[in-house]
Structure 1
Amino acid sequence: MSSIEDLIAEYCPNGVEFKRLGDIVRIRNGKDHKSLGDGEFPVYGSGGIMRYADTFAYNKPSVLIPRKGTLGNLFFVDVPFWTVDTIFYTEIDETQVLPKYLYYFLTTVGLGEMNQAGGVPSQTQSVLNELRIPIPCPDSPKRSLEIQAEIVRILDAFCALTAELTAELYLRKKQYNHYRNQLLSFEEGDVEWKPLCKLTEYSQARISYTELDSSNYVGVESLLQNRAGKTDSIRTPESGNLTQYVANDILIGNIRPYLKKIWYADRTGGTNGDVLVIHPTDAAVNPRYLYQVLADDKFFEYNMQHAKGAKMPRGNKQKIMEYLVPIPLANDTEKSLAEQARIVTILDKFDALTSSITQGLPREIELRQKQYEYYRDLLLSFPKPDAEVAA
């Protein structure tokens, strides 16, 4: 920050000039890709890379801006590429603006909220051309590009750190899945397989809406995907009695089981019919061990196999209770509970590292992303000319 402030103070006494995007960039339409052969060049649509083709439409650094669909989903590309008609590419005047600087700035202007149509979100060249881009030190192109390069260097460093953490998370998840499969796979004779209905029951208890708030009411929308637990609810019931859960119960989202929504309750609260509350009833089974078994991919695959409905599949409550749970060393309750506890200790550590939103790598990635966004907005927030502010 200090080096950028020094550069601006020394070389930009008059601040920056806000230029029309159309004066520094030429926006181009994409083309159909179906006639292209397979190859090495990425073909971009509004959702990202669709395939790889044997030719390219442009071979200089460019910012890709969706024309339809997810409008805020920008891409910076510095390899030869092809784009389809749902996304624009940009031919950038690099004597005025660095492509990566332009990309970073465009991520701050809220393109995702600039829908120019009532139905499918869409964007137009005429609107984009009128966007104002801050160009520091416009009287000295060399100094301007130096300042832009310094801003890009700082933001690239934040992005690189986030990328490293994301890669680390990916590796840890692979490691977690390896140990989960290993720990929950048992040799014949070392385990007894019991149906879930012999170990648990669906909660029949009820709780009044007056006892619920955002922290203990759990709707299916507040359960997080991929075993990431839950977040506070954005709304709570205003009448009636609901299904009660208590600490050590297991809550499973019963809509679209492939989302893998599951939470191990640490409090008393309530939920609705879209969330199953599985209440452990067998003292010979560690509730947390039971959670780890049900959080496994094998359970969610089983659940989807028996789900009802196509567009919005729901878990089959009867079949869920028929799911077989491995109980290690079942003939000796003391040894069995000790083995369950050992498995839980190992898996809980990986769980916190790879899934927790309050600790571990997901939390670290979230903090780094917020830090990046803070400095990005700070670095790219230039004061506008008085005339423009007055207007």
Structure 2
Amino acid sequence: MTYIEDLLKEHCPNGVEWKTLGEVCEFRRGQSLTSRRAIPGDVPVISGGQKPAFMHNISNREGETIVVAGSGAYAGFVSYWKQPIFVADAFSVDVKDFDKVSTRYVYHFLLNNQQKIYNTKTGAGIPHVYGRNIANFKLPLPPLKIQKEIVKILDKFTEYVTELTAELTLRKKQYSFYRDQLLSFENEVYQVEWKTLGEILVKGRGTKVTARQMKELHKDGAPIRIFAGGKTFADVDYGDIPEKDVHHEEAIIVKSRGIIDFEYYTKSFSFKNEFWSYSSDSEDVNLRYVYHYLNHNKSHFQHIAGNMQMPQISSNDTEKYKIPLPTKTVQSRIVQVLDNFDAVCNDLNIGLPKEIELRQKQYEFFRNQLLTFTAEGVYTDSTVQYSTDKT
């Protein structure tokens, strides 16, 4: 028998009472405010996004506040604030009786129903979420004492995720600092030669394939990736691509349209003909070093591409681009340092990103367990499967 179950047995022997959110909370719309009308200040303006839209000098909500984004791509997104804020294109969910209902408990409940809130979106153009639809959600209401104990448990998980996220932010800043230092060569610590990519790398061509052919070629689990543009790709079978268009060697793919980017691959791959690749047959070049340097200076190519609707660079832009080449030994050392930082900061299989993902899933699991109650009069011993000390 767990501590929470003990409390439920003691205070709710016949089950937990259920009420609609509308019975225990008030839904208040925000006030219209644009960035042009805002007066500079330190009050976050909460609107239709996942983060504050801008800052203002006055607030229209104080203390604990739950906010639900009202419209736009993130309509329905739930956030919690414990500081003065200005609610604009959104609405707040305000507890009516603090002696019976914990605001933080309601917040965890809404997070547990985040997808259900998204499903209430209406509007073909700009999606909207309305408080009247969320007001019908059924909320389990154990006594306030039990609500607070549940909040205490769940907050431990969210605090840990927050700490890990803050740690990841610091690591990324550290990564950026060392990357800047290692790839600047401003102090000439290492002796370097400056060479164009065209001088040191071998350019490869992409596959001529239409969007329709891409769709026809797609086969789940196939070993080759064909890039279709931006971040999209399809997995296809070896037999569907001419051998001359299949790249087996280590290479850098240049994404030249839309999102200007560089991808590094060591497995078999192919790509559409608006992109190109670079490989190396020189013993003096560590291709991974070149990849890091290009990504570090990606803004150069983004500037060349311009702000058109479809930004674009040409192979001539990369062919004539010069990079510093220290000795192969120095290149390898730089790669080792940057790869280690990159893994800690960005690898979803290891490091901090993986730890954050696991802790977030753990929080979601226990949140669901702790907020799953039987209706009044039908209590069961297995309502909550979580063991914790009273402290």
Asked whether the two chains share a fold, i.e. TM above 0.5, the reply is yes
Whole-Å separation in 1 of the counterparts to 2:309 and 2:119: 28
Structure 2, gaps ≥5 residues long = 210-216, 379-391
Counterpart code for 2:86? W
> Aligned with 2:84: secondary structure?
coil
1:172 is aligned to 171
Report Cα offsets for 1:167-222 as digits up to 9, x if no partner. 11111111111111211122558111111111223323769969994553153679
> Aligned with 1:295: secondary structure?
helix
Aligned-pair CA distance for 1:247:
3.8
Whole-Å separation in 1 of the counterparts to 2:331 and 2:264: 16
> Aligned with 2:109: secondary structure?
helix
Aligned-pair CA distance for 1:308:
5.5
> Aligned with 1:89: secondary structure?
strand
Whole-Å separation in 2 of the counterparts to 1:220 and 1:206: 10
Q: How does 1:187-336 map to 2 (within 5 A)?
A: 187=187, 190-204=191-205, 213-214=221-222, 216-219=224-227, 223=231, 236=236, 241=242, 243-257=245-259, 261-273=261-273, 275-296=275-296, 298=297, 300-307=298-305, 310-328=308-326, 336=327
> Aligned with 1:59: secondary structure?
coil
Whole-Å separation in 2 of the counterparts to 1:254 and 1:9: 64
Counterpart code for 1:192? E
Aligned-pair CA distance for 1:68:
0.9
2:154 is aligned to 155
Aligned-pair CA distance for 1:292:
1.7
Superposed CA RMSD in Å reads 3.0
For structure 1, which segment, 268-277 or 73-82, has the greater mean C-alpha deviation from structure 2 after superposition? Answer: 268-277
Counterpart contact for 1:246–1:265, Cα < 8 Å: no
For structure 1, which segment, 238-247 or 272-281, has the greater mean C-alpha deviation from structure 2 after superposition? Answer: 238-247
Counterpart contact for 1:57–1:83, Cα < 8 Å: yes
* Aligned partner (choices 75, 79, 88) of residue 75 of structure 1: 79
Aligned-pair CA distance for 1:166:
1.2
Change (3 A) 1:51 1:295: closer
Aligned-pair CA distance for 1:101:
0.8
Whole-Å separation in 1 of the counterparts to 2:9 and 2:228: 53
Counterpart contact for 2:175–2:338, Cα < 8 Å: yes
* Aligned partner (choices 335, 342, 345) of residue 333 of structure 2: 342
1:61 is aligned to 64
1:49 is aligned to 52
1:4 is aligned to 4
Change (3 A) 1:314 1:6: farther
Change (3 A) 1:386 1:215: farther
Report Cα offsets for 1:68-96 as digits up to 9, x if no partner. 12123211112222211x20012212233
Change (3 A) 1:253 1:150: farther
> Aligned with 1:219: secondary structure?
strand
Aligned-pair CA distance for 1:318:
1.8
> Aligned with 1:371: secondary structure?
helix
Aligned-pair CA distance for 1:36:
5.2
TM-score for both structures, normalised by structure 1: 0.82
Change (3 A) 1:36 1:176: closer
Whole-Å separation in 1 of the counterparts to 2:357 and 2:206: 37
Q: How does 1:24-39 map to 2 (within 5 A)?
A: 24-34=24-34, 35=37, 37-39=39-41
Structure 1, gaps ≥5 residues long = 137-143, 225-232, 329-335
Counterpart code for 1:343? I
Change (3 A) 1:55 1:289: closer
2:366 is aligned to 375
Whole-Å separation in 2 of the counterparts to 1:10 and 1:221: 60
Q: Percent identity?
A: 30
> Aligned with 1:203: secondary structure?
strand
Report Cα offsets for 1:269-301 as digits up to 9, x if no partner. 2233465422223331012222221221x2x11
